[in-house]
A and B are shown apart, each in its own frame.
Chain A
Amino acid sequence: MAQFLNYLRSHRKRLALSQEEVAFLLGVQSGASVSRYEQFAREPSLETALAFEAIFQRPASELFGGLYQKIQHEVAARAQSLIHKDQRNPNRRTAHRHQLLAPIASKSLKQI
């Protein structure tokens, strides 16, 4: 099932925090930036994403569920192509790598 890009508004409202209060906790100037994140108009930096994780006490992959799903899908596709590449040149190293990459490629695709 496709997820929303993020669940920031849901978690903010659950904690009864205003956008200004979250902005203060994030260390940014105004609530407008929080509003942009909530409306999926802007993606936060890694620092901001981790700050959100600290505020809402939820993993960033859960807070940014849709974004995580999208990235996971892209990584899975790249892992698949790496496996295909390795299959053209089989040796002990590529066999070991295949073992590690196969769950990334298959598991990610299963979840989507």
Chain B
Amino acid sequence: MNHSQPKHFCILAIALSTRGFGFVVLEGQEMFINWGVKTFKRENKNAQSLAQVKKLIAQYQPGTLILEDASSKGSRRASRIRMLTRQISKMAAPLKVSVKLFSREQVMKTFFTDGKGTKHRLAEIMASRFPEQLGLQLPPKRKPWQSEDSRMSIFGAVALAMVFQTKYMSHCRER
């Protein structure tokens, strides 16, 4: 029995990575609906990522899609990631999902007073804030010769969602 889902006040945050992407679906302030990581080993990762994002949008019908602004000043994201960000934004428009982009700088400024912090420190903050959902996902701090754990993108997605919540809440308070 397939049900058509009504529009929900939920957000989908996606953090793109070299191997795929991490995502989180939040309802309201802090209700985790789904979270995880999608990795792709074969070529054409963008097409596969796009298909998976489309699937997530179709299932959860979020009102807002949050991504990292890969084209912001000072961003050092790969051209593939920049292109994928554009493709996802383009795909979301006809689905009536508003897209919000936040730069890495904005994310860091939200969680660190001086705006300087590491990805791992950010992940630790997220894990301590949501221990039930993220506590077990936190990978050990990587050594300089190790590649990044794919689970790190989940924390990136949660951080993006939190930045959106912070901005949205402050906007509501200003009104």
Cβ of A30 under 8 Å from chain B: no
Cβ of B133 under 8 Å from chain A: yes
Query: For the complex, what is the distance from the CA of A72 to the CA of B60, rounded to whole Å?
Result: 22
Cβ of B79 under 8 Å from chain A: no
Residues from chain A with a CB closer than 8 A to the CB of B36 are 13
**How near does chain A come to B58, taking the closest CB pair, in angstroms?**
10
Q: Which residue from chain A places its CB closest to the CB of B10 in the assembled complex?
A: A4
Contact B33 A5 (CB under 8 A): no
Number of interface residues of B (CB under 8 A): 22
Given A4-B27, A39-B59, the answer on whether A13 and B3 have CB atoms closer than 8 Å is: no
Residues from chain B with a CB closer than 8 A to the CB of A13 are 32, 34-36, 133
Residues from chain B with a CB closer than 8 A to the CB of A39 are 59
Q: Which of A1-48 contact B (CB under 8 A)?
A: 1-5, 7, 9-10, 13-14, 16, 39-43
Contact B9 A1 (CB under 8 A): yes
Cβ of B80 under 8 Å from chain A: no
Q: Which residue from chain B places its CB closest to the CB of A42 in the assembled complex?
A: B1
Contact B1 A10 (CB under 8 A): no
Cβ of B172 under 8 Å from chain A: no
Among candidates B5, B8, B32, residue contacting A10 with C-beta atoms closer than 8 Å: B32
Contact A9 B5 (CB under 8 A): no
Cβ of B114 under 8 Å from chain A: no
Cβ of B136 under 8 Å from chain A: yes
Given A9-B34, A10-B34, A13-B34, the answer on whether A40 and B132 have CB atoms closer than 8 Å is: no
Query: For the complex, what is the distance from the CA of A35 to the CA of B1, rounded to whole Å?
Result: 13
Q: Which of A42-68 contact B (CB under 8 A)?
A: 42-43, 66
Contact B8 A1 (CB under 8 A): yes
Contact B33 A4 (CB under 8 A): yes
Cβ of B2 under 8 Å from chain A: yes
Residues from chain A with a CB closer than 8 A to the CB of B10 are 4
Contact A14 B3 (CB under 8 A): no
Q: Which residue from chain A places its CB closest to the CB of B60 in the assembled complex?
A: A4
Contact A16 B27 (CB under 8 A): no
* Interchain residue pairs with CB less than 8 A apart (25): A1-B9, A1-B28, A2-B6, A2-B7, A2-B8, A3-B27, A4-B5, A4-B10, A4-B60, A7-B33, A9-B33, A9-B34, A10-B31, A10-B33, A13-B34, A13-B36, A14-B32, A14-B132, A14-B133, A39-B59, A40-B2, A40-B3, A40-B5, A41-B2, A43-B1
4 pairs of A and B residues whose beta carbons are closest in the complex: A2-B6, A14-B132, A10-B33, A9-B34
Residues of B within 8 A of A (CB): 1-3, 5-10, 27-28, 31-36, 59-60, 132-133, 136
